[in-house]
Structure formats: C-alpha cells, structure tokens
Chains A and B, each alone.
Chain A
Amino acid sequence: MIMSITTPQITFSLRNSLSELDHLREQVALTGQQWKLPKKTVLQINLVLDELFTNIVSYGFDDTLDHSIVISMEYDGETMQITMTDDGHAFDINQADNPELDISPDKKDVGGLGIFMVRQYVDDISCERNKGKNITMLTKKISRGEADDHR
C-alpha cells in the first residue's frame, strides 16, 4: 500500500530478550501520547506486540547471539499499520492453530493463547518471508468512538 508522505511513522528496535518488554511498553506509550490514542487502544497494541515479540524471543532463535526485532507503526488517523521484522526461524502466524482451552488437570498446557489474543485485537494479519526475515504486517482500525475516549 502506498502511504501518504505525511502519514506519521514511528520505528524502533528491540533486542531478543524478554527484558525488552519494558522498552516495548515505553515505546508504545510514547506513540500513544504522540498520536493521542485512547488508553484502551494503547494497551491492546502493547498486548499484540508483546505476544508476537515474546513468541519470537522464545522460539525464533537457536543461537545465543543478539538479534534485532524492528517494529514500525504508521497511523493515518483511522487505521494503524504495524510491521514487525525479525530474522528468526520462518514463522507465519496465519498458519498457527487457535488454542483448545481444556482445563482438565491431565491436559498439557495450552499453546497458541498469545496468537489467539493477537487475532482478537487486530483486523488483519499478513506475513511474508523475505531474505531470511519474517515480516509480519498488522492492520488495526482505531474507531472514532474510541479516539474520542482519549484521556
């Protein structure tokens, strides 16, 4: 999609360590302030990025080297486009199963819960693999009602 040159964009990068979740929170909070997003939307975007980032850090790499996960956000006042790029193992979120929530004590822990939550909070997800990198693109509509709720 061709975005207008005036569409504001914010890009930041995280190391592949769970301790970077604090950095992620700060960046999303700053973005929310800058774009005057409602608190609820900020928490939802934080959650979506948290789940994807945690997946990449937990399962994306076999080595012990530092890797960068780059997150870029664009917002035209109605729709947010988020792109996440990592050089971990090939992973397509659209191929992942939703969890089966079974609370029987003998059942194993559910997987896929994070992916399920990502699906609840965004409107569209697409993935591609290019030159050894996963590029995950998310679209989230920010409703006007929510935007007016800004505080």
Chain B
Amino acid sequence: MIIDKREEKGVVILEPAGRLDSNTAPVLEQEIDSVGAGNDGHHLLVDFSNVEYISSAGLRVVLKVVKARQTSPKSFAVSSMQDHVREVFEISGFDAFISIYPDAMQAVVSFA
C-alpha cells in the first residue's frame, strides 16, 4: 500500500491508496504511529480519496487512533470517502464517534 504524506497548517495528512484490508492495514498503522500525538505532535487527517475498499482490519486501525488521541491535545479526522467506504463506516457505527468531512480542505479548517 502506498501512502502519501503531507503537512498543511500543522495537520499531517495521510492519503493511503488502494485497498485497506488485513493485508495492508498494518502499513497504514505503522505510518499513523509515526505521527506524534503529544504536545509537539500534529493533528492527523486520513484522506480516503483513493481508498476503494475497507474491511474491519482498516476500521480497527482507525479505532486505535481514536482511542490513542482521546486524551491527546492533537485531534483526528477522516475525509473524502468513496461510497463503499462511507457505508462500512456507517454500518459499523463508526460515524458516531469520528469526525468525517467531505474533503480534506474542510477537515483541515476544522482543526483550527
């Protein structure tokens, strides 16, 4: 899995491309772990524009970030989901506790 990483206005944006399943989720997990969540860390946005498929293995990575950042000064959001990915988030109830934005720009603004 290829993951594009960039920074905008103090927000680290990770943009994975392809399918997020039990085979590829560890790659995203590792990349997320490398973004600090402490005072000197960054807000984190995962941009799902190029993710066409997500399984529970991908959801589990997202859940781990949510938990890790609950007591952190740095927040977390996701954006730009394709229909299937959005549906999986909704059906599993994840949309209840994760900030989902239509695009990366709106997400970045929300961190300000």
A40 contacts partner chain B, Cβ-Cβ < 8 Å:
yes
Q: A47-B88, A105-B68 are in contact. Are A54 and B55 (CB under 8 A)?
A: yes
B63 touches A110 (CB 8 A): yes
Beyond the given pairs A54-B55, A110-B60, 5 more chain A to chain B contacts, judged by CB atoms under 8 angstroms and listed by A's residue number, are A50-B21, A54-B21, A114-B57, A116-B56, A120-B92
B50 at interface, CB cutoff 8 A: no
Inter-chain contact total with CB atoms closer than 8 Å: 65
> Is B70 within 8 A of A46, CB to CB?
no
A120: contacting residue among B55, B67, B91, CB under 8 A: B91
Given the known interface contacts A50-B55, A51-B56, A114-B56, the answer about A104 and B67 at a Cβ–Cβ threshold of 8 Å is: yes
Chain A 28-60 per-residue mask, 1 if CB under 8 angstroms from chain B, else 0: 000000000000100100110011001000100
Closest Cβ neighbor of B24 among chain A residues? A21
Residues of A in contact with B, size category: 20 to 34
Shortest distance between the CB of B82 and any CB in chain A (Å): 10
Tell me, rounded to whole Å, the shortest Cβ–Cβ distance linking B67 to chain A. Answer: 5
In contact, B55 and A116 (Cβ under 8 angstroms): no
Q: How far is the CB of A41 from chain B (nearest CB, A)?
A: 11
What are the interface flags for A105-141 relative to B under an 8 Å C-beta threshold, 1 for contact and 0 otherwise? Answer: 1010110011011001000000000000000000000
Chain A residue at minimal CB-CB distance from B22: A54
A47 surroundings in chain B (CB, below 8 A):
53, 55, 88
- Contact across chains for A51 and B70 when beta carbons are under 8 A apart: no
- A residues less than 8 Å from B92 (CB atoms): 101, 113, 116-117, 120
Residue B74 CB within 8 A of the other chain: no
Q: Please report which residues of chain B, range 44-97, place their CB below 8 angstroms from some CB of chain A when the two chains form the complex.
A: 53, 55-57, 59-60, 63-64, 66-68, 70-71, 83-84, 88, 91-94, 97
B93 to chain A, nearest CB (A): 6
* Nearest A residue to B85, CB-CB: A43
Q: List 28 A-B contacts (CB under 8 A).
A: A18-B21, A18-B22, A19-B23, A21-B19, A21-B21, A21-B22, A47-B88, A50-B21, A51-B55, A51-B56, A54-B22, A101-B93, A101-B94, A103-B63, A103-B66, A103-B97, A104-B67, A105-B67, A109-B60, A109-B63, A110-B60, A114-B56, A116-B56, A116-B92, A117-B88, A117-B91, A120-B91, A120-B92
Contact B84 A54 (CB under 8 A): no
Nearest CB on A from B59, distance (A): 6
